[in-house]
Amino acid sequence: MDADSEALPGPAAPKRIAKAGATGAMGAARQYDESVAKKDSARLQSEREIICPCCNAVLVIDLNLGRVISHSEPSSGLNIELSDAQRILADEKARREAAFEQSFNTERTKGDMLSKRFEEALKQAKDEPISKPTRDFDLD
């Protein structure tokens, strides 16, 4: 380690920051690194960061208090560009039209299918001899 930089303590140990004499781009980097170091060092030993299995939110819980200290929701997975909106709407319209066409064809042929099943059941009923159904009362 050289005289112009120092290592950050804790989980950010591999990062190095310039000493107070840095200016310009290094000064900006130093300010950023110090804010990260303060954030890491500000966390107490009793605080734990947990990811929610349901919504993937990050929860910071204080074990001594038994309470949630902070909560940050995950970013939504939808990053739709405005230029893609026209294509997305057209794709959704085509999908809806295809689903409607399939449903329409199914309903249109449903009557024919039911008529065919009825004719088969009627033919089967004519072929079987008529018999009196047995009841539990008659078995005694």
Instruction: Give dist(CA 119, CA 126) in Å, integer.
Output: 11
Q: Is the pLDDT of residue 11 over 70?
A: no
Q: What is the pTM of this model?
A: 0.34
Look up the domain containing 53 and give its range: 45-77
Residues 38 and 53 in one domain: no
What pLDDT, in 10s, does the model give residues 41-100?
A: 456 788 888 898 888 889 898 888 888 888 888 877 677 788 888 899 999 999 999 999
Q: Is the pLDDT of residue 34 over 90?
A: no
Q: Is 131 part of a structural domain of the chain?
A: no
Q: Is the pLDDT of residue 6 over 50?
A: no
Confidence of residue 131 (pLDDT cuts 50, 70, 90): confident
What is the reported pLDDT for 45? 80
Residues 86 and 119 in one domain: yes
Between the two ends of the chain, the Cα-to-Cα distance in Å is 103
The set of residues, in sequence order, having a beta carbon less than 8 Å from that of 15 and lying 6+ positions away, is 7, 8, 33, 36, 37
* Dihedral pair phi/psi, residue 17, rounded to 5°: -120, 155
Q: Is 86 part of a structural domain of the chain?
A: yes
What is the reported pLDDT for 37? 42
Q: Is the pLDDT of residue 17 over 50?
A: no
What is the reported pLDDT for 102? 95
Structure tokens at 124: 């089967």
